Amino acid sequence: MNAQTHIPLRRTKIVATLGPASDREGVLEAMLKAGVDVVRLNFSHGTADDHRRRLLQVREIAAKLGRSVAALGDLQGPKIRIARFKEGAVSLKEGQPFVLDMAMDSDSGDVHQVGCDYKTLAQDVGAGDRLLLDDGRVVLDVTRVEGQQVHTQVVVGGKLSNHKGINKQGGGLSAPALTDKDKQDLKTAVEIGVDYLAISFPRHAEDMLEARRLLGEEGKEIGLVAKVERAEAVADEATLDGIIEASEAVMVARGDLGVEIGDAKLVGVQKRMIKRARSLNRAVITATQMMESMISAPLPTRAEVFDVANAVLDSSDAVMLSAETAAGDYPVETVQAMARICLGAEREKVAQESGHRIHEGFTRPDETIALSAMYAANHMTGVAAIACMTASGYTPLIASRIRSGLPIVGLAHNPVAQRRMALYRGVVSLPFDTSEMSATELNDRALELLVQHKLAEPGDHVILTRGDHMNAHGGTNTMKVMTIAE
């Protein structure tokens, strides 16, 4: 770790997707310097070798910069898409009939009909259902189903091109969350060493549990992220809670989710999901179109500024960039703009106050210590930081569920735990090898590290949490208020 590295005290983390734009000379390093905490490897695009190469570069640059940067692999999920048109695209007119034909040749679509990659569509829909194509830009109402043909009437017309996605309003498409391609990509994710793996389109907790089983022993340290993007996933509280509890983190994936439940409902669902995930001690990422205009413009719109700021004020652990950094013209400027907006929102008092679990009882010693430390830090004058000696990163995660303006410093020997903590709101992750330290010098060395990284100064108070036995998961049982010697 480079002693001179300045660690920014931005609490909300930034997830940035890698792609051709970040492959340009010097761009990836500039993105990490600008504040990327988690890189996303999108398995919908690129080869296994592309993802391996990019992750190796990230690890090298992060080591050079003295930073812990997590890697999030993102599985494609089921491709519920139309097939292709003879001419590449057609223009549909309002009121015209249009047929989705499961038995049709994949390349011979025209203005009257097109094939479909999702062969069970005819079993999943019936007369009266509404289908939304290309993120809702084209809307079709099902009039009847005959064998392998879904007959529809165009409600909202426009241009429709090859391979556009299909959503059913209100949900109900039966495609499994994990396809054969996903299962192969999951093996790649384990092999290249991602820290988190995002599962697309889970319908219920069992989809997440299946992914956990497939990860097996080799992938046991990979955190699962549920991409909540189906109407079924948010249809009732029990289903959503089950998905959250079966995951290490959740993503508010607003693209497909917005299409399936409608924009009007999406606002409330986003806020409820963030609140619920935090209540259940899971990290939460807000994603989709956050800085979309910056794909081709050097500055965000005011609406995008407010969107990112609202996600911060809602207490998202992280905000995510997709095409902006993977394929956009201004990947570095986008990260810089997002960091500025996060810092601006975090200066608001509401972002630093918390009533999290204040009326609830606790059952675990480590939870009790973590939450007590945060309340003490938020109410005691002169506290500069909360330092958590941790084997797994669990204590900093619990502590970070409480809003604060103070840094939570995760001190871990395990590099996997260090990187996992890169996703948690307000947590600064530092390597801390206790194997050669006596019990009496542990605390002093921890305080020295905080001073070295300019997270605290002589005269400051630091609240320190630790266990009697270092590197034991769930062993945190002690909280100390310490003062750094002048």
Catalytic center residues? 40, 81, 227, 288
CB within 8 Å of 190: residues ≥ 6 apart: 215, 216, 218, 219, 222
CA distances from 178 to 123, 181, 182, 214, 223 (A): 19, 8, 6, 10, 17
Q: CB–CB of 73/43 below 8 Å? A: yes
Count the helix, strand and coil residues of the chain and give each as a percent rounded to the nearest 5: 35, 25, 40
Q: Helices 180-192 and 48-65 meet at what angle, rounded to 10? A: 30
Quick check: 449 and 370 in contact, CB under 8 A? no
- Alpha carbon distances (Å) from 109 to 38, 84, 125, 157: 41, 6, 21, 16
The 10 Å Cβ neighbour count of residue 110 is 10
Where is 478: in which H helix or E strand? Answer: strand 476-483
Contact assessment for residue 228 and residue 234, using Cβ atoms and an 8 Å cutoff = yes
Q: How far apart are CA 202 and CA 320, in angstroms?
A: 19
Task: Collapse the DSSP code of 444 into the 3-class scheme (helix H, G, I; strand E, B; otherwise coil) and give the result.
Answer: helix
Query: Which amino acid is located at 44 in the chain?
Result: S
- 219 CB-near residues (< 8 Å, 6+ apart): 186, 189, 190, 197
Contact 354, 404 (CB under 8 A): yes
Evaluate whether 407 touches 378 at the Cβ level (below 8 Å). Answer: no
Dihedral pair phi/psi, residue 397, rounded to 5°: -60, -50
User: How many Å apart are CA 243 and CA 210, to the nearest integer?
Assistant: 12
The H or E element spanning position 22 is: helix 20-23
Whether the CA torsion 77, 82, 85, 90 is positive or negative: it is negative
